[in-house]
Structures are given as structure tokens and as C-alpha cells.
Structure 1
Amino acid sequence: MKLTSEQKGRFADEGYIFLPDVFTADEVAVMRGEVPRIFAQRRPENVRERTGDVVRTAFATHTYDPTFAALARHPRMVEPVIDLLGGPAYIHQFKINAKAAFDGDQWQWHQDYGTWSNDDDMPGPHAMNVAVFLDDVTEFNGALMFIPRSHKLGVLEAGHDLQTTSYPLWTIDNDTIRRLVGEGGLVAPKGKAGSVLMFHGNLVHASPGNLSPFDRTIVYVSLNRVDNAIRRFKRPEWIAHRDFRPIEPLPDDCLLTLSKAA
């Protein structure tokens, strides 16, 4: 999949692009069908909400599940990122974030590169996120919130929040967020399952809790340029990967072919 010059310009200016209908209903069904089995497993990669026995994040599913291994190398995801990053990329992090109906907790205001820099010693912000919607994302079930153009401000001062949720983040204080929203506004891209969001590693973002009766499951793949590999290995490998080999895309029909073979 090739991005247009307009889409690339929007990414450079706003820090994100939203692409509807990247994956078909059949492809989404294949991926969503794997999620209950993955979440049912008792393994360290499955981080649960602090308030109960509900999975918050399933890390590194591409390392043991064939369906998500295929998604990690899907050309509709990988090729646009390589184009935007300007060189070959590897998977820095792969996770399924589940905001379960009624139980999904918030994600505080942060920049992903802030965590990658502080925790993993990633040299520069030459990494970005791809979010693949496995459920419809609406105003009710915890849509991501972005502050447009905040990626142009570089790495902002942040504190290490170890208390708010079950997963630690380097988070940005409320006064800074108030100022940034006053300058850049606030958006919450929403859309059908199969849609894709691509956003810069320095874009300031967050998401509220999910009090609705609708699940909100999103796959996040963080891709880093190969020449920007991390230099600190204090986090588990299933959170910050050590395999720096460039991704080799699979055929475009890999998700459906895999399903038929199974």
C-alpha cells in the first residue's frame, strides 16, 4: 500500500494519519477470532488491569501466534511505515490493547518516544506506531485522543507514573496538557474495525477508560528504523524487542491464506 503525497504531508504536519478500511471484514474476523484464546492464557506477556482479572495488554503475540505474526509483516502496514521512516524498520514492540467493556482503564497523557528514550535508550524519534482497529472505535468506548502537531515539540518533560494504572508510563503533567491543547486542539479519530491509525512517536496522546458496554480492542505495532536500534535492555524482551532484523513483508493475502490453511 502506497501513501499519497497528501497523506505523507498530513502525517508530517499533524503527526498522524487515519486510514479507513485498510483490512477487510474477513481479515478482521480472522484476527479477532484469536483474541479470546490469547487473553485466556496465563503468561507474563498478558498484563492485567489493576482492578481485576481483565487483560489490559497482551504483549508480543506475534512471537507465538501465527495470525499476528502475519499481521506484523503485512505489506499494508509495513510498507507505508518504511516510506514514512525513510528506511528499513524492525518491530520494537507489538501488543494488543484491550479496553474491555466496563473494565478498560485509561492510558495517561504521554509520548511513546519519551518511554522508548528513557527506558530503552532509543537514539532518536525515528519510530512510530500503527494501530489496527479490531473493534469499531467510537466516542463511547475509549477512543485515542491526540494533540495535533505536538510531535514537533520534541521530547517533553515527563514523570514516571508507577501508580495510576497497572502499566508504568512516562507521563506529562496536567498543566502542560492544558497548554498544548490550547495551542493545538484535541482530536479523537474514530472508525470501523479494519481501520488503521499511524502516528509519530512524539505525538502526545492518551485514552479514557471504557465505561460503555462495547469492547475496544486495538493492535499496536511500534516500528523502529533499523539504524535507530535501542541500546538499553532493562525491560523484558517481550516489551522491547532485541531482534533488529528488518521486516520482510509477506504477500498481501497472508491473513486469509493463513486462515484457509488452518
Structure 2
Amino acid sequence: MRLSESQLREFDEQGYLFLPECFDDEEIAVLREEADAIYRQTRPEVWRESSGAPRTAFAAHTYSEPFRLLGAHPRLIEPVEQLFGEQLYMHQYKINAKAAFDGEVWQWHQDYGTWARDDGMPEPRAMNISVFLDEVLPINGPLMLIPGSHKQGVLAAAHDTSTTSYPLWTLDHATVAKLAEAHPIVAPTGKPGGVLMFHGNLVHGSAGNITPYGRKIVYLTLNAVSNYIRTPTRKDWIAHTDFTPITPVDDDALRAYARARRRIAA
């Protein structure tokens, strides 16, 4: 899947691109079922909220076949290769949940700020590309973005280790208010199967979820191979040190897996 010239311009100007209905119901169903099974596991890669509800599951592509297939899917890999002009490796992979009633905040931040400070990533040539597994609504903690904020470079941040179970390099209120004054906040929403891609320096965050409607989003952080991390400080299942270029799978790989699993179950 290649981006059009107008999509490339939009990404350059806004710092993000939303592609609705990128994956179909059959593909999403097998991923949603697998995500729920992973959240029930007790393993170090699965982090939880203070309530015990799932918050994120790291590195699912290393222990789950459907998420391995998603992590090498051409609908996700090809647009980023097009933007960067080179092959990619997986810097980080996570399935983030906003559990019904108990999903906590993700504070305002830039992802590249963390990748640079904690992992030694030389340049913001890594891309977050996310897949909606559930419907993302205006009310259930959607990701909020400040369009154009990626053009501000790396902003000053403080290391917040106490607000939630996940430490994060966060921006102060004055910085966020100034950015939002110039570029009003947006929150892309949509049905399962939508794909959101955004620049590593785009300022973003999400509010808590106090509704009965949980939502799960898969995040792939695809890094240009030449931009591999130099000084990793985090566990390998959080910031990967396998810099092998990703070889895309067939476009039909997830559907084929889902059909094979149904045959075995029958």
C-alpha cells in the first residue's frame, strides 16, 4: 500500500494520517481475540493499571503468531518505507488498552523524546503506526494529537515515574497550552480496522476512560534500519535490539491464519 501525493503532503503538514477501514472484520476479530488472551497472561511484558486492569502488552509479535503477522503486514510496512526511503526494523511493539471504567491517562508527550533519551536513537526517523482493535470513540479515551507540533523539534520534558504504572517523559502544561493555541487538538476516532500513523515528534496524549466502553489499539514503532538505537537502557522487550529488516508477509496472511484457526477449531 502506497500513500498518494496528497496524503504525503498532509502527513508533512499535520504530522499524522488516519486511514479508516484499513483492515477488515475477519482480520480484526482474530487480533482482538488474541489480545484478550494475552492480557489474561501473567508475564513481564504485560503491564497493568493500579486497578489491575491491563494497560499495555509489549513485544506481542515475539510470542503471538497473529501479532507477528500484523507486525510485518505490507499495509503497515510499505507506507513507512515509502516515507523513509529505506527498510525498517521493529523498535517497539505494544497493545495498549483503555479498560472500561479503569483505563488511566497517557500524559502529554513526544515519543521521540523517550527514544532519544532512553534508547539513544539518533534521529526521529521512527514512526508510530497504530491499528484500532475496538471502536475508538470521542468518550473512551481516544488518542489526542496536536497537529503540526512535530515541526517544533524535541521539546523539554520531565521524567514522570509516578502518575501511572509506566514511566514517561512528559511535557509541562504551559508548553501544551501554547502548542494547542496555535494548532487545536484533534482526536481521530473510528471503527475497528482503522490505522493511524504519526510522526515521532508529534505531541500526543489520552485521557482516562470512565465509560463502559473499553478500547484496544496496537502500536508498531517502525524505525529506519540506519537509525538503529545506539545506547539502549531499557529491557529488550520494550526497546528492541534486533535490527534485522522486516520482510513483509503476504497481504492475505492474517485472513489465511484466521481461516486456518477456524478449521482447527471445527
Residues 129-161 of structure 1 deviation map (CA, whole Å, 9 limit, x = unaligned)? 001000000111100110000000100000000
- Aligned counterpart, 1:73: 72
**The residue matched to 2:211 in structure 1 has which SS?**
coil
Distance 1:132 1:259 in 2: 17
**The residue matched to 1:185 in structure 2 has which SS?**
coil
Q: How far apart are 1:261 and its partner, in Å?
A: 2.5
TM, length-normalised to structure 2: 0.97
Residues 147-199 of structure 1 deviation map (CA, whole Å, 9 limit, x = unaligned)? 00000010000000001110000000001100000011110011110000000
Residue segments in structure 1 that go unaligned for 5+ positions in a row: none
Distance 1:252 1:22 in 2: 11
- Aligned counterpart, 1:127: 126
Q: How far apart are 1:93 and its partner, in Å?
A: 0.2
Distance 1:193 1:37 in 2: 18
Residues 103-133 of structure 1 deviation map (CA, whole Å, 9 limit, x = unaligned)? 0000000000000000000000001100100
Q: How far apart are 1:260 and its partner, in Å?
A: 2.2
- Aligned counterpart, 2:255: 256
- Aligned counterpart, 1:24: 24
Distance 2:103 2:233 in 1: 27
- Aligned counterpart, 1:6: 6
Distance 2:36 2:250 in 1: 26
Residue segments in structure 2 that go unaligned for 5+ positions in a row: 262-266
- Output the amino acid matched with 1:133: F
Counterpart mapping for 1:85-164 below 5 A: 85-164=84-163
Distance 1:143 1:170 in 2: 20
Runs of 4+ in 1 over 4 A off after TM superposition: none
**The residue matched to 2:185 in structure 1 has which SS?**
coil
Q: How far apart are 1:86 and its partner, in Å?
A: 1.9
Instruction: Determine if contact 2:26/2:258 at 8 Å carries over to the other structure.
Output: no
Instruction: Determine if contact 2:112/2:201 at 8 Å carries over to the other structure.
Output: yes
TM, length-normalised to structure 1: 0.98
**The residue matched to 1:222 in structure 2 has which SS?**
strand
- Aligned counterpart, 2:82: 83
Q: How far apart are 1:259 and its partner, in Å?
A: 1.8
- Aligned counterpart, 1:39: 39
Identity of aligned residues (%): 56
Equivalenced residue count is: 261
- Aligned counterpart, 1:225: 224
- Aligned counterpart, 1:205: 204
- Output the amino acid matched with 1:194: G
Instruction: Determine if contact 2:15/2:150 at 8 Å carries over to the other structure.
Output: yes
Distance 1:233 1:127 in 2: 15
Instruction: Answer yes or no: is 1:242 the counterpart of 2:241.
Output: yes
**The residue matched to 1:129 in structure 2 has which SS?**
strand
